[in-house]
Amino acid sequence: MDRRSSRHGDSASGKSRGGHASHKSRDRAPEARGTARPPSQRQLRVGEELRHALSEIFARGELRDPDLMGRSLTVTEVRASPDLRNVTAYVTPLGGGADQAFLAALARTAPFLRARMAEMVPLRYTPKLFFAIDTSFDAARRIEEVLRAPEVARDLAKKPDEEE
């Protein structure tokens, strides 16, 4: 008998020293393909800290990019990847006017912003920063418009016990 197989359990059956199945399948339910896990508490907390840091940098006007000078923007959300190495900041320029040039300007300033975030938020690794335009306000506005339409208002005004 080989010393390695006697010390580390039966490798042919896939069992470890304790006689249990491999750790890879331990206590995990099979996930359906294409389903995303909800963010962890740590992801949410780090995202919120980074959102505050980015908002403070933008409020101070520290950016020197000509496409961003004099423009106010709001950081609505920062989503962190599960390993906290990448984050996506969702931004909305005040007064509208979000276009590809605006996103390109933000992408150009990402290294500067990453360095400033490293100074403000103590993390083991400062995440790589990506930007996206937040369209949630536009979606909310469209929903409001639909709900205020005369046809929908008429349907909402009916009592649930009324039948046609």
Q: Residue 117 is encoded by which pair of tokens?
A: 């975030």
Contacts of 50 (CB under 8 A, 6+ apart): 78, 80, 87, 89, 117, 121, 127
Determine the pLDDT at residue 29. Answer: 46
pLDDT digits 0-9 by tens, 64-108:
888 887 788 889 999 999 999 999 999 988 877 667 888 888 999
Determine the pLDDT at residue 87. Answer: 94
User: Chain-wide mean pLDDT for the chain?
Assistant: 77
pLDDT digits 0-9 by tens, 31-72:
555 567 888 999 999 999 999 999 999 888 888 888 887 788
Q: What is the pTM of this model?
A: 0.65
Can you list the domains of the chain with their CATH numbers? 41-157 (3.30.300.20)
Distance CA 159, CA 47 (A): 44
Determine the pLDDT at residue 49. Answer: 93
Residue 138 has pLDDT above 60, yes or no: yes
- Kind and range of the H or E run holding 154: helix 150-157
